[in-house]
Structure 1
Amino acid sequence: MERARQIGLFRYMLIREAADSSLTGRQRGALVRALAAKPHTDPTGRTVRITRWTLDRWISNYRTGGFDALVPSPRQSQPRTPAEVFDLARALKKENPSRSASQIRRILHAQLGWAPDETTIQRLFRREGLTALSAGLVEPAVFGRFEADHPNEIWTGDALHGPRIGGRKTYLFAFLDDHSRAIVGHRWGFAEDTVRLAAALRPALASRGVPQHVYVDNGSAFVDSWLLRACAKLGIKLVHSAPGRPQGRGKIERFFRSVTEQFVVEIASGDGVPGRQLTDLAEMNRLFTAWVETTYHRTVHSETGHAPLARWLAGGPFPVPAPADLAEAFRWSEHRTVSRTGLVSLHGNRYQVDPGLVGRKVELVFDPFDLSFLQVRLDGVDRGTALPFQISRHSHPKARPEVPAQPPAPTTGIDYLALVDALHTAEIAQKVNYAALDPTPSPVPDDDVDDHTTD
């Protein structure tokens, strides 16, 4: 089921622009022809080409059934070639790099009695870098300057490692509008995870509108299935930068440099450097918002020649998503098979669902911070709610709230060891020297008496 959802997301991101209802037939045809003319990388990493007929079919399915219509059945999404065959093909290629795909196919056929076609093996080698590289120097890549044509066309997201607050490291999630350089969303947190990312992105979408594209790197928070689902539900095309090619994120990296030089530098680091001593994240986020809105957004940008906020507002107004649509997009979902007793399990909890779903694989949609209420869906159709049967966990394991630094516990001021020492000292002072109090003089030894007499 998870593989099927990944295929659905791949299809959606491919046809999202061409499925826009505002396009004319001529415009849509040009987009579809362009997509069919170039190769694409599918969820398994293979390089594939999609025919125009297939793209038109996906667009039609999306218009009639939405995102769920792009998700194939689990049977259709299963790979045709067993993983063991691919493992053997890799080993044969690494054993002797001069072997061609056709030669390895012959070896596989002789060993196993059958083999995948030569093109499949060649795609495997090309995908994993096992194809022999051509000799000679490679021309360095040339990168031109790029800027989005209007606000909310592209948002670039990234994370910055910040200072320590209360002994804990902080992280800043921020989203920058490519056209105006305005910061549309931001959030400081104690973790670089999905929850903190959502805390930055969700208010941005609610107040700034929905962008056409969101451009991010391949960090764990940015490749989480939650973000893919949220973007698909809101019609956003999520784009990940190629590994080792960070050139497209230069604008937000430049913003992070401004954050470090103008904001972070004013925070006390605890190593003797003077600065504002922050006590909690709420204060840090409040001060950062003040700096963004009063300083960064009002300073004329050296590249655009305009203040970021003024340039963003000039392209408005921007429609914002309905609260219900936004809430649905930011819910999480997982798939479970209903047991014979009509129960499903989710992270240690058990829930009662419709008995008619016994043996079926259903989708559980929920708020990660509240596992007491789950919506049940089958093939995208609502099938009621899951009633809590046994609850031991009230939030998702990844939904870790920001726990404020605990103030030091009040002390009594009692130093037990000092009390013991004082008692011991007093006892020593009160001891009586009985030898000094005895009035009887000590006898003098005979050896000490003078041996003489007087006349």
Structure 2
Amino acid sequence: MSKHDNEQTARLERARQIGLFRYMLIREAADASLTGRQRGALVRKLAADEHTDPDGRRVRISRWTLDRWILEWRQGGFDALVPSPRQAQPRTPSEVFELASALKKENPERTAAQVRRILKAQLGWAPDERTLQRMFHRTGLVSLRAPKQTAVFGRFEADRPNELWTGDALHGPRIDGRKTYLFAFIDDHSRAVVGHRWGFAEDTVRLAAALRPALAARGVPQYIYVDNGSAFVDSWLLRACAKLGIKLVHSAPGRPEGRGKIERFFRTVNGEFTVEIASEHGEVGREIKDLAEMNRLFTAWVEQVYHRREHSETQAAPLARWMAGAPFPVPSASDLAEAFRWSEHRNVAKTGTVSLHGNRYQVDPQLVGRKVELVFDPFDLTFLQVRVDGQDAGTALPFQISRNSHPKARPEIPTELPKPTTGIDYLGLIDRAHATDLSNKVNYAALHPEPARPARSASLTEG
């Protein structure tokens, strides 16, 4: 991929991150069930608070801007909140930021104002002090002179079921020599396990295998709270939550507030479930043959033991407490399928084709030179939907297919292709042919018998 393509991909990713930041900020205020007075109070509160933008900066958003984002959301949905890639680019050149960082690292006691003065003397121009200060905060270059205080975390519990789900991954035992991972989501109010899945990888595919059935069976939560693991910050999860109207919240690094409940659940899993599985070190337990058996047994333990037992904090069985808030609206099959598709952006070549992970596809010739969004099932790259500015633009017809699934969409059991073989035993053929030749060889001597020897004379005999 060329440098230009890398820069274009980075701009597109930044634009999507800005759109997700705007969406998560105005999601509650954009709720159609709110009255004008309720919405106004929420918007005023959002405008008064500081927020962390996609660059890690602490920013304030004016009420006028928030109202504009809400209007754009209502008119065009999530795609209307995504700025054009050109607008998403930072205005300050990266070279200036690199020089500012070097000046700060050279002398950590330099303030943003001092760094700005040095930059202006050196370059004749410098960004404003606030821009530099935000950059120092984002990159961790702010010197902490005050002694660090130990944080005290209070107890929190959601007011109702499906208000908040917390997700995380647990490293489990080895099955058939391969390490397993458990993705699980629990409801904060009831402690019920709303979704779970054991797999052989800690990636987005296994995460989707746990979350998608949970949404189909348990409904859509208002919030999902996760950490900053690679699977939880993947753009796929951000897109899925945005499509379903879920506000995705990531915990700050080193700040474990709200994660104690699922960590406590994982300790229960280790103490009651995985302890009963035979390990590779020879401990006594049940021999698990494959993942299907692992997931079947875990589901039985969750439903028959964990969900029916009274929880020590809530003093109620998790499933019964969750059911007290039922019924919950569930997404339609089509909405769920759309949310769990993946998407990537590509430029349409002059030949009317687009490329995606080694494959080439033919699209509408009228899209030549335009940037399109390709929406697809990660396990099936033979069918792609084409969209332009959020609008449907037909499908991409396969032209040259070299792979059928996305590089990240790895199956649980890698398929090993058999080595090509003709079944021909060359040496055996030669051996059999030689044996046949020997058996069929003509005995020319047998065809021409030796002439009879003449009888000896009597005189010779007698002698």
Smaller-chain TM-score range?
A: 0.7 to 0.9
Following superposition of structure 1 onto structure 2, how do residues 266-277 of structure 1 map, counting pairs within 5 Å?
266-277=276-287
Query: Structure 1 stretch 202-211 or stretch 87-96: which is displaced more?
Result: 87-96
Q: Counterpart of 1:385 in 2: which secondary structure?
A: strand
2:89 equivalent to 1:97: no
2:150 equivalent to 1:140: yes
State the Cα distance separating 1:354 from its structure 2 match: 0.8
Query: Structure 1 stretch 24-33 or stretch 215-224: which is displaced more?
Result: 24-33
**1:280–1:405 CA contact under 8 A, matched in 2:** no
**1:334–1:364 CA contact under 8 A, matched in 2:** yes
- Which residue of the other structure, out of 327, 330, 349, is the alignment partner of 1:317? 327
- Which residue of the other structure, out of 232, 248, 253, is the alignment partner of 2:263? 253
Supply the distance in 2 between the matched residues of 1:167 and 1:310 (Cα, whole angstroms): 38
Cα deviations across residues 263-299 of structure 1 (Å, max 9, x unaligned)?
Answer: 1011110222111101100000000000000000000
Residue equivalent to 2:38 = 27
**2:55–2:138 CA contact under 8 A, matched in 1:** no
**1:281–1:404 CA contact under 8 A, matched in 2:** no
Query: Structure 1 stretch 139-148 or stretch 307-316: which is displaced more?
Result: 139-148
Cα deviations across residues 175-201 of structure 1 (Å, max 9, x unaligned)?
Answer: 000000000000000000000000000
Supply the distance in 1 between the matched residues of 2:140 and 2:236 (Cα, whole angstroms): 30
2:65 equivalent to 1:54: yes
**2:183–2:198 CA contact under 8 A, matched in 1:** yes
**1:280–1:404 CA contact under 8 A, matched in 2:** no
Supply the distance in 2 between the matched residues of 1:7 and 1:22 (Cα, whole angstroms): 26
Query: Structure 1 stretch 147-156 or stretch 111-120: which is displaced more?
Result: 111-120
**1:158–1:174 CA contact under 8 A, matched in 2:** yes
**2:227–2:251 CA contact under 8 A, matched in 1:** yes
- Which residue of the other structure, out of 347, 364, 378, is the alignment partner of 1:368? 378
Following superposition of structure 1 onto structure 2, how do residues 11-410 of structure 1 map, counting pairs within 5 Å?
11-135=22-146, 137-403=147-413
* AA aligned opposite 1:222: F
Change over 3 Å in CA distance of 1:24–1:256 after alignment to 2: same
Q: Counterpart of 1:362 in 2: which secondary structure?
A: strand
**1:176–1:183 CA contact under 8 A, matched in 2:** yes
Supply the distance in 2 between the matched residues of 1:357 and 1:140 (Cα, whole angstroms): 57
* AA aligned opposite 1:369: F
State the Cα distance separating 1:100 from its structure 2 match: 2.2
Taking only aligned residues, the RMSD between alpha carbons, in angstroms, comes to 1.2
Q: Counterpart of 1:132 in 2: which secondary structure?
A: coil
State the Cα distance separating 1:126 from its structure 2 match: 2.4
Determine what percentage of the aligned residue pairs are the same residue.
81
**1:375–1:384 CA contact under 8 A, matched in 2:** yes
Supply the distance in 1 between the matched residues of 2:391 and 2:39 (Cα, whole angstroms): 30
Query: Structure 1 stretch 21-30 or stretch 152-161: which is displaced more?
Result: 21-30
State the Cα distance separating 1:127 from its structure 2 match: 2.5
**2:341–2:377 CA contact under 8 A, matched in 1:** yes
Residue equivalent to 2:443 = none
Q: Counterpart of 1:186 in 2: which secondary structure?
A: strand
Q: Which runs of 5+ in 1 are unaligned?
A: 407-455
* AA aligned opposite 1:340: K
Supply the distance in 2 between the matched residues of 1:130 and 1:198 (Cα, whole angstroms): 36
State the Cα distance separating 1:405 from its structure 2 match: 10
Supply the distance in 1 between the matched residues of 2:253 and 2:36 (Cα, whole angstroms): 36
Residue equivalent to 1:424 = none
State the Cα distance separating 1:246 from its structure 2 match: 1.8
**1:351–1:390 CA contact under 8 A, matched in 2:** yes
TM-score (norm 2): 0.86
Query: Structure 1 stretch 59-68 or stretch 205-214: which is displaced more?
Result: 59-68
Supply the distance in 2 between the matched residues of 1:121 and 1:254 (Cα, whole angstroms): 41
Query: Structure 1 stretch 279-288 or stretch 122-131: which is displaced more?
Result: 122-131
State the Cα distance separating 1:124 from its structure 2 match: 1.3
Aligned length: 405
Change over 3 Å in CA distance of 1:340–1:404 after alignment to 2: closer
Supply the distance in 2 between the matched residues of 1:284 and 1:331 (Cα, whole angstroms): 27
* AA aligned opposite 2:178: R
Supply the distance in 2 between the matched residues of 1:382 and 1:131 (Cα, whole angstroms): 47
State the Cα distance separating 1:17 from its structure 2 match: 0.6
**1:166–1:405 CA contact under 8 A, matched in 2:** no
Q: Which runs of 5+ in 2 are unaligned?
A: 1-11, 417-463
State the Cα distance separating 1:326 from its structure 2 match: 0.2
Cα deviations across residues 32-90 of structure 1 (Å, max 9, x unaligned)?
Answer: 11111111111111211100110011011101111011111112111100111000001
Q: Counterpart of 2:119 in 1: which secondary structure?
A: helix
* AA aligned opposite 1:311: R
State the Cα distance separating 1:98 from its structure 2 match: 2.5
Q: Counterpart of 1:295 in 2: which secondary structure?
A: helix
Supply the distance in 2 between the matched residues of 1:261 and 1:133 (Cα, whole angstroms): 41
Q: Counterpart of 2:259 in 1: which secondary structure?
A: helix
Supply the distance in 1 between the matched residues of 2:323 and 2:414 (Cα, whole angstroms): 35
TM-score (norm 1): 0.87
- Which residue of the other structure, out of 15, 31, 36, is the alignment partner of 1:4? 15
